[in-house]
Structure 1
Amino acid sequence: MTSTSSRANSSPPSFARNLRALGEIVKRQRVSCELNLLDAADYMHLSVSDLSHLEDGQPIDTGKLIKILNELGMVMLVLKKADAIDALSAIGEDIDWPQGTAEPPRPRKQAVSAPASPENTTPTLFVDFDGTLHVGASYIDEHGLITLDSGAPLLEFAPLLVKILEPYPSVEIVLTTSWTRNLPPEKVISFLPSELARRVVATTRSSTARLGYIKDGTDRTYIICTFASNRRLTRWLALDDRAHGIEKFERVPGELQNHFVCLDPSRGISDQRALDRIQEWLVSVHAPRID
């Protein structure tokens, strides 16, 4: 039996008959705390897969289960069935358990879940600048003048992206470049060729990563994954030379690997393997869907 503390949630306590019901209770409480899976797992110092497995009704380590419940302001009570009946009756839960049943029948009234927002199937490309569209790290002075430590031209590989995207007008771009921290988004976009600039629909300027992710170098990966999750993007690809620790944010092993093109910063997207991967993605997301 799992109940929610009155301080964290004033709704009536919930009764978990099985792991799936427990997972639904945990998910409902997490959502009520306005936490997505990534933020909740980071806050609890647990992996995303642990929290995801619990919410999906799968077994996890008992210690981790108790930690998750505690962090969400919930407690789990283990009682004899007779005592549980008395306790549930005292809080207004009328549970009719037939003798000899391994699992009580489902309650007559089921909570109605709010409909999930529809998936966003727009082909979306997350694009960095340094190590992606040119070689070298950028320096922006107080006047907004940008130079590269490599001495290479700014955005020298942008024409390659223009060419490869030309047959696919529906592809949108989200800029992940750190330039947006120092310059207005419209200024950053203005550096791009017009063919790319008109595809830009957003930047990750307002997205921030937790200190732990910044320290271990996975902040860019976290920001991209969170942005894609919040926008419910399903057809996205990230071009970046700083996509580290991808597996850390996977609910299922390998689920995010095909969403990232981890670039060699000395070659960016000029690397033929990177261009081939982008082309492969473009073909796959524009293929007819079979329902």
Structure 2
Amino acid sequence: MSPISSRPHASPNPLAFNLQTLGQLVRNKRASCDLNLLDAADSIGISRGILTRIENGKSVGTERLFKVLKDFGLVMLVMPNGEADVVLEALGHTVNWYDVMASQSPATKIGRRPSLTLDRTTPTLFVDYDGTLHAGHALIDTAGQITLDSGRALFEFVPLLVEMLEPYPSVEIVLTTSWLATLPEDKVISYLPAELARRVVGTTQGRKARFSYLRDGTGRTDIITSYAFGKRLLHWLAIDDSVYGADRFGYEPGELTANFVLLDSTRGISDEGAQQRIRDWLVEAHKDNCTQRGQTS
């Protein structure tokens, strides 16, 4: 239950990025007016319960919320992050948007989530095309013809992946390429050689990243993480030139960093460091998969 009164912060940061921080600003304003919950609610014309919910960061009807803000002399501004930075700095405050996003990420909510059993042990490799299996990014015209902005050959690094996976027939592939947004799934898969195409068990097509992750460039990472957790995958690795911010995902900060190989789009998997990470994962995943099978047989 919210306290009857509290000591106001002399100059609170006016940034409200969720209901909790908005509620804190309302509570601070009430305290600065030297009002307890009952007197404040009576003067505004709402119940003490509604005001308590707002101050505790709980959802209420928007009309009631704006009535409380208006009667407390508070206004809400909606603006892009870049403009908000300028306004906040003028008021003597700063904000780290990555920290704001991280505070709302799954990693900060572990206590609110049930434990997830990752019981699918088949090694799964999430594979992008552009900047991964070739250098550069594809340009797909209206006739479906594909060229690369780098001027390089399509899928020039595919033989490397075929060679790395050859000793591990159990490895499955899930495609993450943006080509899926333009071309039919079977067409996208058909560009792969048979050695890889037969491993494909799914794609991330149709999965949507949360807006906050789209905005800060980590949408691909969010989609892959969501797919992996949704399929209860235990052994998985994503090779992609767009998997930014991996340290922010998972139930604990940094938990999934090793599951993502962020590639240089000019080198893709031709990068020796990337190849070593893939090979190390294959060895470890194969060993763990064999162990798990032995325990259940």
1:226 and 1:56 map into 2 onto residues whose CA distance is 15
1:52 aligns with 2:110: yes
Task: Give the corresponding residue for 2:159.
Answer: 159
Q: Alpha-carbon deviations, 1:58-86, whole Å to 9, x = none?
A: xxxxxxxxxxxxxxxxxxxxxxxxxxxxx
Deviation at 1:262, TM superposition (A): 1.1
- SS of the aligned residue for 1:131 comes to coil
1:162 and 1:224 map into 2 onto residues whose CA distance is 22
1:48-197 correspondence to structure 2 within 5 Å:
48-55=106-113, 119-197=119-197
Task: Give the corresponding residue for 2:59.
Answer: none
TM-score, L = length of structure 1: 0.62
Deviation at 1:289, TM superposition (A): 2.2
2:111 and 2:117 map into 1 onto residues whose CA distance is 22
Deviating beyond 3 angstroms after TM superposition, the runs of 4 or more aligned structure 1 residues are: 54-57
- SS of the aligned residue for 2:161 comes to helix
Which letter does structure 2 place at the counterpart of 1:174? V
Deviation at 1:213, TM superposition (A): 1.4
1:230 aligns with 2:230: yes
Which letter does structure 1 place at the counterpart of 2:253? P
Q: Measured at CA, do residues 118 and 264 of structure 1 come closer, stay the same or move farther in structure 2, by a change above 3 Å? A: closer
- SS of the aligned residue for 1:286 comes to helix
Task: Give the corresponding residue for 1:245.
Answer: 245
Q: Measured at CA, do residues 56 and 194 of structure 1 come closer, stay the same or move farther in structure 2, by a change above 3 Å? A: closer
Deviation at 1:184, TM superposition (A): 0.4
Structure 2 stretches lacking a partner, 5+ long: 2-99
1:209 and 1:141 map into 2 onto residues whose CA distance is 26
2:254 and 2:192 map into 1 onto residues whose CA distance is 33
Structure 1 stretches lacking a partner, 5+ long: 2-41, 58-115
1:55 and 1:190 map into 2 onto residues whose CA distance is 39
Deviation at 1:252, TM superposition (A): 1.3
2:113 and 2:168 map into 1 onto residues whose CA distance is 38
Deviation at 1:119, TM superposition (A): 1.2
Which letter does structure 1 place at the counterpart of 2:119? E
- Aligned Cα RMSD in Å? 2.4
The structure with more helix, counted as a fraction of residues: 2
Task: Give the corresponding residue for 1:64.
Answer: none
1:194 and 1:279 map into 2 onto residues whose CA distance is 21
Which letter does structure 1 place at the counterpart of 2:162? V
Task: Give the corresponding residue for 1:282.
Answer: 282
TM-score, L = length of structure 2: 0.61
Q: Measured at CA, do residues 118 and 220 of structure 1 come closer, stay the same or move farther in structure 2, by a change above 3 Å? A: closer
